[in-house]
């Protein structure tokens, strides 16, 4: 299939997913930002609530070629914020570098948490990893060298993004490799 065929496939799949989301998910999404803004939860607990919603949403994102063992998107740049780093430190017990690496072009380089083709900090993975699902018919366009070929529709939650922007205070530290290093950590 051509790039355009695959983009059309992803667009139709995305529309179908959104049209068929169950009321419970829509209810969980509605007002997420306002609820978190009004709550006295710590930033880490607020982030956990956003992750919990994204994990629930992910159950309805299908069909997707995303599979354990396919690690193409773990070779993309992954931006990360202070609260996400703290979450990884607390949940996955991994420590950041004492001195962060300089910024660079990290596309094509493996994430330091990628071990044997799988994420070794799955329950603590950052926001951008949780919102990344391919809706193309195959993983062909996920390969880092093809990933800029064209835009694909994705099932996103603007409410989750708003909530995340609130919790991370719109700040980013840099790429995950700057914060945790570039070599596999395990």
Q: Which residues bind ligand SF4 (CB under 6 A)?
A: 74, 78, 111, 113-114, 119, 121, 125-126, 129
Nearest distance from C-beta of residue 122 to ligand SF4, angstroms: 7
> HEC string of the chain?
CCHHHHHHHHHHHHHHHHHCCCHHHHHHHCCHHHHHHHCCCCHHHHHHHHHHHHHHHHCCCCCCCCCCCCCHHHHCCCEECHHHHHHHHHHCCCCCCCCCCCCCCCCCCCCCCEECCEECCHHHCCHHHHCCCCCCCCCHHHCCCCCCCCCCCCCCCHHHHHHHHHHCCCCCCEEHHHHHCCCCCC
Q: Which is nearer to ligand SF4, 9 or 124 (CB)?
A: 124
Q: Which is nearer to ligand SF4, 85 or 111 (CB)?
A: 111
Nearest distance from C-beta of residue 16 to ligand SF4, angstroms: 25
Q: Which is nearer to ligand SF4, 87 or 152 (CB)?
A: 87
Nearest distance from C-beta of residue 83 to ligand SF4, angstroms: 15
Nearest distance from C-beta of residue 46 to ligand SF4, angstroms: 20
Nearest distance from C-beta of residue 52 to ligand SF4, angstroms: 17
Q: Which is nearer to ligand SF4, 9 or 127 (CB)?
A: 127
Q: Which is nearer to ligand SF4, 68 or 98 (CB)?
A: 68
CA 62 to chain centre: 16
């Amino acid at each position: 299939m051509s790039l355009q065929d695959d983009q059309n496939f992803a667009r139709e799949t995305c529309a179908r997913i959104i049209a068929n989301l169950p009321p419970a998910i829509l209810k969980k999404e509605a007002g997420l930002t306002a609820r978190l803004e009004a709550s006295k939860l710590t930033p880490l607990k607020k982030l956990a609530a956003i992750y919990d919603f994204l994990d629930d949403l992910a159950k309805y994102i299908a069909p997707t070629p995303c599979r354990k063992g396919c690690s193409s998107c773990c070779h993309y740049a992954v931006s990360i914020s202070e609260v996400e780093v703290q979450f990884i430190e607390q949940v996955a017990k991994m420590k950041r570098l004492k001195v962060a690496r300089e910024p660079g072009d990290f596309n094509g380089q493996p994430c330091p948490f990628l071990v044997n083709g799988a994420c070794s900090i799955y329950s603590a993975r950052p926001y951008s990893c949780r919102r990344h699902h391919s809706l193309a018919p195959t993983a062909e366009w996920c390969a880092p060298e093809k990933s800029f070929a064209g835009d694909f529709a994705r099932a996103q939650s603007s409410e989750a993004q708003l909530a995340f922007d609130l919790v991370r205070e719109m700040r980013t530290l840099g790429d995950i490799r700057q914060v945790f290093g570039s070599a596999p950590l395990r």
